Structure 1
């Protein structure tokens, strides 16, 4: 069971649970249950870990750890948890059809409400990107501090909007109000996933500390030179 124990230790870095041994016991119980012969132990491990993670999260949350594939799917973002991800170098291209807009104009261009954080006030600049055939954009971005701090908002019903690469030790579960969120406190790769599910490598860039969460059906990510408490405070002030 050495492989199982190693997988569980890796997964534990993502979970803030007061009783890790209890979770491990549930996983072992799942593995001990009879299963059809064609199933491999790694498939069973993935299923058991998934059940354990869902068990410690509130019912209905869109958070799922896929230990076998080394991915965390949360709030429209896929985070790779494999060690030593390749970090991009050089400048990234803008998101598809990205352009500046006023807050009022941006609100007309997206299907979700644009909320600004009272902690930061009105944004210095607003960007919209990736319009569909009807002209509605998929992403709205609020920029602060000369662009060094940004808040990306995108429709939470979309499967993927950004693709991140981060090692598990750099990412942890936190809370924004009563909801779960993911905090990535280390540099990580960030690239855009288009409407067809294709990762746009040309948009890949090195991202700063990031907080990811959902609120009222919309997914958000705050990125900048922030501590975790600062990012959570900004997120909680989103009006």
Structure 2
């Protein structure tokens, strides 16, 4: 078995070999603190009480089964706890970087949208097609048709155009250069986005979580029928996505994230 000194040398070598972008220090501190709180307190002293009975097996710091019922509790060597702590820090560092997030989970599902984070293929070409069954209607008619509440951002005023698609599944509001889609964001996946760099940025819209996507990317509408032949693909510009109650939103066409958030927060 390696000695603690050998183990320390291996850790130092591992640290020099790692090449991870540095995450914000405050995020690292929060992540490491959370990991340590999950692990619970560690004592160097061996427990003073005797064997654990078969009738009431106990749960040790490593979970049920750390020692066998009827045997003496054993002290865990300090180097094993060091190993656990280092592993927790490495996991936190990887999870806090966009590259690490993409390596661990290539698919993010949020607010009825499935975001695929990878090296995307070529962007869709040609003229974008309308959504299935897309129809131009009045705002009042859209509110009657949709199965969810329709709100309008006060920052933009009344929309110039309103459309309902896929049997009321999606309501799209339009202003010059700006589009906002509203849909039920909890029942199923409605949209798919294929992203490479720059990576999406997590933001807060009012008191709700959201994601900001900076550059152009492939956007695919997944119809309620699920039929591959009915999917609609096009190129989407900068987009803010968020969810409010059961309604998912896509705000597309506003290049400034601060301005996009202000519009999103003005829904009435």
TM-score using structure 1 length: 0.71
How far off is 1:91 after superposition? 1.3
1:78 aligned onto 2:109? no
Q: 1-side partners of 2:149 and 2:181: how far apart?
A: 13
Specify which of 184, 200, 212 is matched with residue 155 of structure 1.
184
| Cα deviation code 1:136-159 (max 9, x no counterpart) | x100000001xx210000012222
Alignment of structure 1 residues 182-221 onto 2, 5 Å? 182-198=211-227, 203-221=232-250
Quick check: 2:184–2:248 contact (8 Å CA) kept in 1?
yes
Q: 2-side partners of 1:68 and 1:112: how far apart?
A: 34
> Residues 160 and 66 (structure 1 numbering): CA distance in 2 closer, same or farther, change over 3 Å?
farther
1:107 aligned onto 2:136? no
Specify which of 147, 170, 178 is matched with residue 139 of structure 1.
170
1:18 aligned onto 2:26? yes
Hey, which of these two has a bigger chunk of strand by percent? 1
Q: Which has the higher contact order (CA 8 A, sep 6+)?
A: 1
> Residues 110 and 229 (structure 1 numbering): CA distance in 2 closer, same or farther, change over 3 Å?
same
SS of residue matched to 2:259: helix
> Residues 201 and 105 (structure 1 numbering): CA distance in 2 closer, same or farther, change over 3 Å?
closer
> Aligned residue for 2:166?
130
The aligned length equals 197
SS of residue matched to 1:19: helix
SS of residue matched to 2:142: helix
List gaps (5 residues or longer) in structure 1: 35-47, 57-64, 132-136
| Cα deviation code 1:105-161 (max 9, x no counterpart) | 111110111100000000000000001xxxxx100000001xx21000001222211
Larger radius of gyration: 2
1:93 aligned onto 2:129? yes
Specify which of 120, 126, 130 is matched with residue 156 of structure 2.
120
Q: Aligned-pair RMSD on alpha carbons?
A: 3.3
